[in-house]
Amino acid sequence: MAYPKLFLKKGKEAVAASRHPWVFDGALDVGRSGGAPPGPVELCASDGAFVGIGTYNPASAIAVRLFARESAAIDEAFFAQRLRAAAALRESVVSRDTDAYRLVNSEGDGLPGLVVDSFAGHLVAQVGTPGIAALESAWIAALVEIVRPASILLRANQSAANRERMEAPSGQRLGETPPTLDVVEWGVRLRVDPHRGQKTGFFCDQRDTRALVGCLAKGRRVFDGCAYTGAFTAHALAGGASSVVAVESSQPAAALIAVNADLAVPGGAQRVSIANGDCADLLDASDARFDVAVVDPPALAKKRQHVDKAARLYVALFAKALRRVSQGGFLVACSCSAAVDRELFDQILAAASREAGRETRLVHRGGAGADHPISAFHPEGEYLKTAVLYAP
């Protein structure tokens, strides 16, 4: 299939050599490329040499997102090939006692702009570019062919839609997705709200960190800050926590914490105290001590220009939690801000320890699970950072 051709400016050959999937608008020879509409395009060097195929958005700073370095039609067969590879990877890295995982991780699976999570055989997808939106019929057909899901639901990704200046597609695409879904993660039962929950309804990326919290929790008092629907709480209870204090500002999300506590451990909700409010405020107001404190706030730096302010907020929040950690206890600190890199995250942890007046030791670094692959050419795909600090 012949796609509109876009050309790189002379001197931008490094864009092609880097194999990075993003091409910014400043690298394109706009006058020569013409007025291509959003959708599939062929990218060429300034001398006309083929670079790759991808999708184009003239309204975005990331003008082209490359799918392949060889000529191909981005059609149902193309998506089927990429989805087979994605499914095979998950077959290798997702535990048999887990049925909630990420099936497609955008650039990490060679499908920029598409995210698909699988919940007990039901798929929930988010579209992040107008190019992927334009190709919906092809990738939906490929999902049906390769995965044979019980249902497919599109959830609006409004932040991406605003950034890409597009309409956020949403709605049922196959079957009927139930109002709630019960899933299993490392053998722990959890309830997911695919229609109203954040993102796709559940944060599969923290699965490995939740399992680690389950290991740390036995016989210990646990604090679950920014608890969302209580997945960390559920794993802590399954691991034998003596008690959990779970804090969540969203009332609809907090309503599922007790449900998930009882799904994880019959009667588990009796060991959980649920507070509807701000995590930092509760830490300030309380003099309680915890043996394990989990602090997993929403992204505090959505753009590079927000990093300095976000770093100060992370330091303050982690320091507040550290002051509540008992001697010999643990802080599980998390950041899902892509703009906060590992080096800065380590600096934040050190600054929080100084501010709290605590000696700490870094005993674990983590991030998203293996079902969230990152392209070696796209380090920006590593957004989630987690760390476990031991406070002797």
Q: Please count the other Cβ atoms lying within 10 Å of the Cβ belonging to residue 37.
A: 12
CB 55 within 8 A of CB 64: yes
pLDDT (0 to 100) of residue 27: 94
**Nearest residue to 326 via CA among 219, 215, 221:** 221
Tell me the C-alpha distance between 31 and 29, whole Å.
Answer: 6
Instruction: With a cut of 80, say whether residue 347 has pLDDT above it.
Output: yes
pLDDT (0 to 100) of residue 299: 84
**Nearest residue to 258 via CA among 267, 198, 249:** 267
Instruction: With a cut of 80, say whether residue 34 has pLDDT above it.
Output: no
Please provide residue 142's backbone torsions phi and psi, each rounded to the nearest 5 degrees: -70, -40
Please provide residue 21's backbone torsions phi and psi, each rounded to the nearest 5 degrees: -75, -10
pLDDT (0 to 100) of residue 37: 86
Q: Please count the other Cβ atoms lying within 10 Å of the Cβ belonging to residue 17.
A: 8
Return the ∠ at Cα 23 (arms to 21 and 25), rounded to 5°.
160
pLDDT (0 to 100) of residue 13: 84
Quickly state the pLDDT bin for 1 (edges 50, 70, 90). low
Q: Which residue matches tokens 């048999």?
A: 96
pLDDT 10s digits, 37-91? 889 999 999 999 999 999 999 999 999 999 999 999 999 999 999 999 999 999 9
Tell me the C-alpha distance between 374 and 380, whole Å.
Answer: 8
Residues in a beta bridge with 335: 385
Q: How far is the CA of 81 from the CAs of 3, 114, 146, in angstroms?
A: 20, 15, 9
- Interhelix angle 136-147/76-93, nearest 10 degrees: 40
**Nearest residue to 197 via CA among 255, 237, 110, 148:** 255
Task: Kindly list the structural domains of the chain, giving each domain's residue range(s) and its CATH number in brackets, ordered by start.
Answer: 5-68 (2.30.130.10), 76-174 (3.30.750.80), 203-391 (3.40.50.150)
- Active-site residue list: 336
Q: Residue 297 in 3-state DSSP?
A: coil
Task: Name the DSSP class of 240.
Answer: T
Instruction: With a cut of 80, say whether residue 126 has pLDDT above it.
Output: yes
What's the whole-number average pLDDT of the chain? 95
Q: Residues of the chain with pLDDT > 90: what percent?
A: 86
pLDDT 10s digits, 139-190? 999 999 999 999 999 999 988 899 999 999 999 999 999 999 999 999 999 9
Quickly state the pLDDT bin for 2 (edges 50, 70, 90). confident
pLDDT 10s digits, 378-392? 999 999 999 999 999
Task: Name the DSSP class of 270.
Answer: G
